[in-house]
């Protein structure tokens, strides 16, 4: 038996086996993992985040650098 430890609607730990005394958890199947969402008795996987290409990441970082350098010139 697996048990999910839930904090603010998110699985923060999965315990395999019996729950230790004083620990509260929700019965979970083998597909539940840390980071999953839990609401109204149902587990769901988080939506995948959009991933940027390396070039897009570099451009975004460069924009942040430019903005910080502009602050230094003030």
Domain ranges of the chain: 2-72
Output 14 or 1, whichever has higher pLDDT.
14
Between the CA of residue 13 and those of 18, 39, 62, what are the distances in Å? 14, 16, 37
Whole-structure pTM over 0.85, yes or no? no
Report pLDDT digits (tens) over 15-32. 999 999 999 999 999 999
- CB count within 10 Å of CB 58 equals 11
Which tens digit of pLDDT belongs to each residue from 28-72?
999 999 999 999 999 999 988 888 899 999 999 999 999 999 888
């Amino acid at each position: 038996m697996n048990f999910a430890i839930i904090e603010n609607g998110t699985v923060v730990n999965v315990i395999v086996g019996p729950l230790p005394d004083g620990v509260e958890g929700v019965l979970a199947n083998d597909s539940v993992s840390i980071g999953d969402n839990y609401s109204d008795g149902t587990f769901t996987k988080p939506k995948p985040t959009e991933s940027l290409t390396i070039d897009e990441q570099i451009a975004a970082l460069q924009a942040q650098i430019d903005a910080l350098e502009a602050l230094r010139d003030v």
